[in-house]
Amino acid sequence: MHTDGYGKMKATLSGKDETGLNGETVIQANGLVKAFGDVRAVDGVDLEVRRGEIFGLLGPNGAGKTTLISMLTTILTPDTGSASVCGYDIRTEAEQVRRVASLVPQDLALYGGLTAKENLDFFASLYGLRGETKRRRIEEALDVAGLREWAGRRVSTFSGGMKRRLNLAVGLLNRPQVLFLDEPTVGVDPQSRRHIFECVRRLVAKYGMTVVYTTHYMEEAETLCDRVAIYDKGRILDLDRTDALLARHGGRRIEVRPAHEEDVERLGDVLKDTFGAEAVTFAENRWVVRADDPLDSPERAIAAVKRSGVAVESFAVREADLETVFLRLTGKSLRDE
């Protein structure tokens, strides 16, 4: 893998690598740009996704992940740059792209007044499915989603988790070669989330499907994805397997939560004096410190807290994870306020 400077990373792998994946490229993007007024939601993205992999796009809300996915699924047209999905150009062969790829959108795209089965029947018809093939695909989709028992009920009566599962089932009707999952577990209960993860793994194993999975939850990216692209402000900052990213950017982090809101600033000042401003960031009511030295940093943090005289609600030392990687690459938390 080689880098082209900060902001653009190209992963070019051929043949099988240590992940065991076939090297065939199913998604290729070069210099994709999309701006809305002054805001460049996608700012020069190069990307290659290989057949059969679960590719994660990890970034906070507003990073531009959905815009990137929208271009690859032909909803939006890039301002500049090019991309292809399964060899079909997203600009000139949009209809073919739509036949081989499928999007499970972040917003639930279901008709509440129709039953689960009627929703599946409608979308299957638009894919051109007919007769016995259509019937079988609908049954399969209901099984995958675990919704066979509720097939005849109107979607407006479903829980959020059930709707998410049906949303996923709709995306599988055409047995796509590439499945784009845009934040599929937002607002979902843990049981439904586990169900979605199992579905994704089974689809890849059974059909060799390629999955592009966008999320702002690092646990999902770590658990599910073969490779993860760290994405922020329209750019891929780094891209690799999780273990490689951790090895490159990992390290512990220290999290300190003050007991009183009025002490936040004072505590922050002390921590910045101790570790340097670039190593300290504030997210979700806690100060997060990059612990470059795993042995010395926690002690220095404790000393700094004592020096500040601030009462602390919690003090934690966390092992390296993608949250740390994101913090080191962007200077902020994945869930920054």
Partner 1 sequence: MAKVWHLAVKDLRLLMRDVPGLVFLFITPIVIIAVASFALSGVFANEARPFDLPVVLEDDGEAARALVDALSGIGAFRVLTTYEGDEGGQAQMTRDKAKQLLKDTKAAVVIPNGFSDALAKGEPAKLIVLSDPSDRVIPSVVHQTMTQLATQLALARSGQRLPPVEVVQEVPVDASGERPTPFEANVPGYAVMFMLLGTTMGAVALLEERENGTLRKLRTLPVSAADILGGKALSNFLTALVQSAVLFAAGRLLFGMRLGESIAGLILMIVCTAFAATGLAMLLASLCKTRAQANGVSILVVLTMSALGGSWWPLYIEPEWMQKAAHVTVTAWAMDGFTALLVYGGGLADVWRPAAALAAMGAAFLAAGWWRFSRKERFL
Residues that bind partner 1 in the complex, under the rule CB under 8 A: 73-77, 95, 98-99, 101-103, 105, 107-111, 113-114, 118, 122-123, 125-128, 170
Q: Shortest Cβ distance from residue 79 to partner 1 (Å)?
A: 11
Residue 256 pairs in a beta bridge with 287, 315
Q: Shortest Cβ distance from residue 77 to partner 1 (Å)?
A: 7
Identify each DSSP E strand in 177-216 by its residue range: 178-182, 210-215
Pick 13 or 94: Cβ nearer partner 1: 94
Pick 26 or 334: Cβ nearer partner 1: 26
Pick 127 or 315: Cβ nearer partner 1: 127
Pick 134 or 300: Cβ nearer partner 1: 134
Nearest to 166 by CA among 151, 176, 180: 151
Q: Shortest Cβ distance from residue 15 to partner 1 (Å)?
A: 32
Q: Check if the beta carbon of residue 337 is closer than 8 Å to that of residue 282.
A: yes
Nearest to 155 by CA among 125, 117, 181, 191: 117
Q: Shortest Cβ distance from residue 125 to partner 1 (Å)?
A: 4
Q: What is the DSSP string of 234-285?
A: TEEEEEE-HHHHHHHH--EEEEEEESSGGGHHHHHHHHHHHH-GGGEEEETT
Report strand pairing: 178-182 vs 210-215. parallel
Q: Check if the beta carbon of residue 263 is closer than 8 Å to that of residue 311.
A: yes
Pick 87 or 128: Cβ nearer partner 1: 128
Q: Shortest Cβ distance from residue 316 to partner 1 (Å)?
A: 38
Pick 184 or 268: Cβ nearer partner 1: 184
Q: Shortest Cβ distance from residue 124 to partner 1 (Å)?
A: 9
Q: Shortest Cβ distance from residue 123 to partner 1 (Å)?
A: 7
Q: Check if the beta carbon of residue 323 is closer than 8 Å to that of residue 249.
A: no
What is the number of other CB atoms lying within 10 angstroms of the CB of residue 75? 15
Q: Shortest Cβ distance from residue 239 to partner 1 (Å)?
A: 24
Q: Check if the beta carbon of residue 120 is closer than 8 Å to that of residue 138.
A: yes
Q: Chain-centre distance of CA 200, in angstroms? A: 13
Pick 101 or 245: Cβ nearer partner 1: 101
- Residue 232 parent element (H or E): strand 227-232
- Residue 158 parent element (H or E): none
Pick 126 or 295: Cβ nearer partner 1: 126
Pick 30 or 115: Cβ nearer partner 1: 115
Distances (CA, A) of 10 to 46, 49, 60, 229, 316: 6, 11, 21, 11, 36
Q: At what angle do helices 131-145 and 160-171 cross, to 10 degrees?
A: 140
Q: Shortest Cβ distance from residue 42 to partner 1 (Å)?
A: 14
Hey, is 192 helix, strand or coil? helix
